[in-house]
Amino acid sequence: MVSIYTLYVVNKSGGLIYSRDFTSVAKVDLNDALRLASIWHSMHAISSQLSPVPGCTGVELLEADTFTLHCFQTLTGTKFLLVVEPNTPYVPALLQRIYEVYSDYVLKNPFYEVEQVIKCELFDEHLELAVRRHNV
Amino acid sequence: MHKTLCRGYNIGIRLIDEFLAKSKVSRCGSFRETVDIIAKQAFLMFLNMQCTVSKWTQDGSECSLIFTDNPLTEFVELPSEFQELQYCNILCGVIRGALEMINMDVDVRIVGDMLKGDEVHEMRLRLKEQKNEDFPYKDDE
C-alpha cells in the first residue's frame, strides 16, 4: 500500500522545478503539473492576503476525498507540495526531511543553478529513500 | 581583489536553506533576533564557534559581530605586501547572501581583523532595508 503519491517543488516565482511520482496510480502529465504549480503559487499568495489576522503564511493543507495535499513553504520562498493518501500520518515531518535532503543534495551541487529545474541524481536517490522509510 | 573575494554571496544564498532546514528555527520578529541567531546558531553550525553581538546603534539597524577564534585564519599569516587584504571578506558575502534570501538587505564589512594585529575579529552589519511581505504587489500594479 503506497501512501505518498507525488512531490512537487515550486520555486519562489511559481515555476515548477521538480515533480516526481512515487506510484503509478497518480499520474499527472507535465503540462498539468506546471499549471498546477503556478495556480497553487497564486492561490497561496491570495490566501495569505485573505487572512483577517495579520502574519498569515498561506494555505498549508488541501483535503479532498481521494487525496490530501500538504504544502510547506520555506522562509526563503520555495514550496514543497506533497500529494498523499488521506489520513497519512507524519507528513509535516517528511516534508521537513525532504527540505533537508534538498539543501544537502540540490543546493550543494555545484552544477545546479538556483531556481532552475532540479536534475540531481543524489537528490533522487535520497528522496526515494526518505519516502520509502516513511512508508514502512 | 576585494570584489572577487565577495563571492561568499553565492555560498550564502544556498547555505541559508541548509541552516533553516537543520536548525528548525522559525520566523524572526526583528533584525536583532536574526543577528542573535546568526551569532549563536549559524556560526556554531558552520564554523563551530560562537560570536558575540554588540555595539548596537540607537535605532537597532547596525551592530557588530565579534569573535576571536576563527577557523578560517588558523595557520594564516598575511605577507607584508598584502597587508591591506581583507582575508575574511568571504564571511561578509555569505551573511549578505543568506539574509537577502529572507528579504533583508544588509551591508556587511570587516572592521577588525586579528591577522592585522587587532585584538578581535569584528564584522559590522548594517540593515539597509527589510521587505516584510512575501507578496509585495499592490492592487494597481
Length of chain A: 136
Closest CB to B102 among A75, A96, A107: A75
Rounded Cα distance between B104 and A115, Å, is 19
In angstroms, the separation between the Cα of residue A3 and the nearest Cα of chain B is 24
CA trace torsion B90, B92, B97, B100 (10° rounding): 180
Distance separating alpha carbons of residues A123 and A20, to the nearest angstrom:
11
CA distance B34 to B133: 17
Dmax (CA) for chain B in angstroms is 58
**Strand, coil or helix: what is A16?**
strand
Q: Which residue of B has its CA nearest to A57?
A: B134
| Residue with grid cell 554588540, as numbered in its chain | B54
> Could you name the CATH architecture of A4-135?
2-Layer Sandwich (3.30)
B21–A100 CB contact, under 8 Å: yes
Which residue shows C-alpha cell 541548509? B18
Spell out which residues of chain B touch residue A114, defining contact as CB-CB under 8 Å. 13-14
pLDDT digits 0-9 by tens, A75-125: 888 999 999 999 888 889 999 999 999 999 999 998 998 889 999 999 999
Nearest residue on chain A to B102, alpha-carbon basis: A76
- Location of C-alpha cell 540540490: A106
Contact yes or no for B47/B35 (Cβ under 8 A)? no
Partners of B14 on chain A (C-beta within 8 Å) are 103, 107-108, 114
Cell reading at B75: 595557520
Count the Cβ atoms, other than its own, within 10 Å of residue A131. 19
User: Minimum mean pLDDT among A37-41, A126-130, B8-12: which range?
Assistant: B8-12
Question: Taking CB atoms and an 8 Å cut-off, how many pairs form between chains A and B?
Answer: 46
In the prediction, which pLDDT does A26 show? 64
Interface of B with A in 121-140 (CB under 8 A): 134-135
Cα separations (Å) of B2 from A31, B97, B109, B111? 45, 16, 11, 14
Nearest alpha-carbon partner for A98 in A1, A2, A3, A6: A6
Give residue B141's pLDDT: 46
pLDDT tens column, B67-112: 888 888 888 888 888 887 888 888 888 999 999 888 888 888 888 8
Closest-CA distance, A92 to chain B, in angstroms, reads: 12
Task: Quote ipTM for the complex.
Answer: 0.80
Beta carbons of B135 and A45 less than 8 Å apart: yes
Q: Give the confidence band of B116 by pLDDT, cuts at 50, 70, 90.
A: confident
Q: Which CATH class is domain B3-70+83-129?
A: alpha beta
